[in-house]
Amino acid sequence: MIRNKENKLNQSREITNKELIDSYDSMRKTNRKGDGDVNKMPIEKILKKVSKPARYIGNEVNSIHKNTGEKRYLRYAHCFPDLYEVGMSHLGSHILYDVLNKEEDIYCERVYAPDIDMEEIMRKEGIKLFGLESREAILDFDVVAFTLQYELCYTNILNMLDLSGIPLLREERKDLSFPLIMVGGSCSYNVEPMSDFIDVAILGEGEYVNVEVAKRLKAFKDSGNTNKEEFLKSILDIEGVYVPSFYEVKYNDDMTVKSVLPIVEGAPKRPKKRIVSDMDEVEYPEKLIVPYIDTIHDRIVLELFRGCTRGCRFCQAGMIYRPIREKSLDRLKDILKNMIANTGYDEISLSSLSTSDYSKIDELTDYLVDEYASNNIGISLPSLRLDNFSMDIAEKIQQVRKSSLTFAPEAGSQRMRDVINKGVTEQDLERATSRAFEMGWNSVKLYFMIGLPTETEDDLKGISDLAYRVIDIYRDVNDGKLRKKFSVTVSTSTFVPKPFTPFQWHGQDTQDEIKDKQKYLTNLMRNRIIKYNYHDSKTSMMEAVFARGDRRLGKVLLDAFKLGAKFDGWMEHFSLERWQEAMDKNGLDISFYAHRERDYDEVFPWDHIDVGVTKEFLIRENEKAKEASLTSDCRLSCKGCGINTSTIGKGLC
């Protein structure tokens, strides 16, 4: 990978321990007053004992350092509850880091979950979890905020709080002498399982909300007031703020939720998500932090738009991120020019929920190739829709280097694709793969979901049929021959019912049912050309538990953490037995949350949250799914989902 001249990693290698130590020493002398506990730790001794020490050094190109000895900042720890390589690949984290640090009175630092080896040393040496930029313990910060992107990271949040010396339970943090604990991200739309531990949940897009809350907190604390409840009441007027402790949950005798109602004056009955109206005006990080080591997405990420109009019935993001709002082509050009100059990356990833739906995708790809191909800067696309995949675009982007092609039919049969409202056909797959093979591609990746509502054995067999059909298409294109490099990769994930989707009422298949389906597909696709990958059903089951969970799961989380649960998204650390023990201790049942079908009149733990899309619309879509009836793209005509676009601005669905 090519880097710019500023980046000392222009050679394809990881930096040595000595370089890390030198980088650390240089940063410490210039950045901090040097009196924090973390600054005194034996860094040379520690870095030589851990894998990937660059995870913890924090002096990367484009990282932001402010001298806290000169003035009083609002200290904000932006925490991603997973390893550095995962968190550094999360675009939302880069956006918030950039937005917050543009404020003169706010100092935002990054914090990631330390790996097991680093954690052991930290606990042994008494080192508290620290911000990468200042290396100061986040126990002394004003805000500690976590990104909630994946339910199985919840125990990592508890572990990070524990490593920080911050009391885990909200009720144990009586005042603002402790940091304000906030969360945001897609999982915050049902934050109820985390409500025992957090003070504030940010609903919707966080650029403006986080700044507003931070500024008010600074003014509040600067006045000498440390009353946390008083502060929380003072921010209830900020759209996008939800304070779980200001709401009371009551339950029915059958364990279902009876009601979720505000108990504090001023708390809205239905907290509303925040929407960024103008994508050209909102800040975007044009100086991405360039890591010392490879990360999952080690490249420029260019966000084209937010929202989606396709209406896939299993997809939470397609519902909660409505309405669609695009960046203008001119704005994208300006962003990209600065990002390339500031990072030296040689690859651009076009990112949105359905990238090929960008209204000026042809013009954009023309520009990217014309402007950057001569500098050997490539373009990569995420998984592509089959119905609007343009081989003209594919031909353009392969001029620099041929990236892999990934398609997501999601289901094997046309009936099932209609059930989920995918809106693609087998003919779309045939057309796209045929053109790709004619242009020289020798491999293709296909993504599917199993365990979808109403799924039958014929629907499963359709997955295998499509894989073999791709092989036949390749033979047809290549005069009946199969080249050695040719391969078809089929991946299946397990359906997880998510809040605010038409499928939120459906239960997840049991473990035995999912394992039987995976075994069935494995036997059907025993072929040297086909590589079949599938996701573990145990982790998907616990994901379903917490995706549709209520506040009673907070005690389960705490007990599972005490039993050793952390990094549950990584199979080498996950233990279902540990979770089962925690559920049993609290008299709760996994199947009640994961496998149970819900009635339309049941109150969900998240029903009081307003994401714009109405429950009535979701019910209509679920009924249409039962009939395998399609709903067309929202841009063709409004489907009455309930999202209010009258005051949102330009570029709407």
- Tell me the average pLDDT across 243-248: 98
Q: Is 34 helix (H, G, I), strand (E, B) or coil?
A: coil
Q: What's the one-letter identity of residue 339?
A: M
The answer for residues whose C-beta is within 8 angstroms of residue 489's C-beta and 6 or more apart is: 443, 444, 445, 446, 530, 531, 533
Q: What's the one-letter identity of residue 72?
A: R
Half-sphere exposure of 474 (CA within 13 A, CB side): 21
- Tell me the average pLDDT across 205-227: 97
Q: Taking a C-beta distance cutoff of 8 angstroms, is the pair 151, 187 a contact?
A: yes
Q: Taking a C-beta distance cutoff of 8 angstroms, is the pair 582, 563 a contact?
A: yes
Confidence at 569, pLDDT banded by 50, 70, 90: confident
CA–CA separation, 530 and 488 (whole Å)? 5
Burial of 383 (0-12, 13-18, 19+ CB in 10 A): middle
Q: Name which of 309, 99, 46 is nearest 213 in CA terms.
A: 99
Q: Taking a C-beta distance cutoff of 8 angstroms, is the pair 548, 604 a contact?
A: yes
Q: Is 478 helix (H, G, I), strand (E, B) or coil?
A: coil
CA–CA separation, 598 and 505 (whole Å)? 5
* 279 phi, psi to nearest 5 deg: -70, -20
More confident residue, 450 or 433: 450
Q: Taking a C-beta distance cutoff of 8 angstroms, is the pair 277, 464 a contact?
A: no
Res 9 pLDDT > 50: no
| Share above pLDDT 70 across residues of the chain, in percent, rounded to a whole number | 89
Give 511-552 as a DSSP string: HHHHHHHHHHHHHHT--TTEEEEE--HHHHHHHHHHHT--TT
Instruction: Out of 11-25, 222-236, 482-496, 585-599, pick the least confident.
Output: 11-25
Confidence at 651, pLDDT banded by 50, 70, 90: very low
Q: Taking a C-beta distance cutoff of 8 angstroms, is the pair 514, 452 a contact?
A: no
How many CB atoms within 10 Å of residue 3? 17
Mean pLDDT score of the chain: 89
Q: Taking a C-beta distance cutoff of 8 angstroms, is the pair 310, 423 a contact?
A: yes
Q: Where do the domains of the chain lie, and which CATH numbers do they carry?
A: 74-262 (3.40.50), 299-402+610-653 (3.30.750.210), 404-496+507-552+588-596 (3.30.750.200)
Token representation of residue 264: 């504090």
pLDDT tens track for 465-475: 999 999 999 99
Token representation of residue 391: 């081989």
- Alpha helix stretches (DSSP H) within 183-243: 207-222, 228-234
How many CB atoms within 10 Å of residue 33? 12
Confidence at 71, pLDDT banded by 50, 70, 90: confident
CA–CA separation, 534 and 451 (whole Å)? 12
Confidence at 355, pLDDT banded by 50, 70, 90: confident
| Share above pLDDT 90 across residues of the chain, in percent, rounded to a whole number | 72
* End-to-end alpha carbon distance in the chain: 38
Q: What's the one-letter identity of residue 162?
A: D
More confident residue, 217 or 277: 217
How many CB atoms within 10 Å of residue 261? 12
Q: Taking a C-beta distance cutoff of 8 angstroms, is the pair 293, 341 a contact?
A: no
Model pLDDT, residue 484:
79
Model pLDDT, residue 195:
98
Give 15-32 as a DSSP string: PPHHHHHHHHHHHHHHH-
Confidence at 356, pLDDT banded by 50, 70, 90: confident
Q: Name which of 331, 329, 306 is nearest 318 in CA terms.
A: 306
Q: Name which of 386, 353, 272 is nearest 643 in CA terms.
A: 272
Token representation of residue 151: 């339910």
Q: Is the dihedral of CA 370, 371, 376, 377 positive or negative?
A: negative
pLDDT tens track for 439-448: 888 889 999 9
Q: How far is CA 519 from the centre of its chain?
A: 29
Confidence at 44, pLDDT banded by 50, 70, 90: low
The answer for residues whose C-beta is within 8 angstroms of residue 306's C-beta and 6 or more apart is: 205, 276, 279, 321, 324, 325, 352, 353
Model pLDDT, residue 406:
84
Token representation of residue 536: 């573990």
* 192 phi, psi to nearest 5 deg: -55, -40
The answer for residues whose C-beta is within 8 angstroms of residue 341's C-beta and 6 or more apart is: 4
Confidence at 596, pLDDT banded by 50, 70, 90: very high
CA–CA separation, 17 and 396 (whole Å)? 42
Q: Name which of 371, 375, 384, 379 is nearest 401 in CA terms.
A: 379
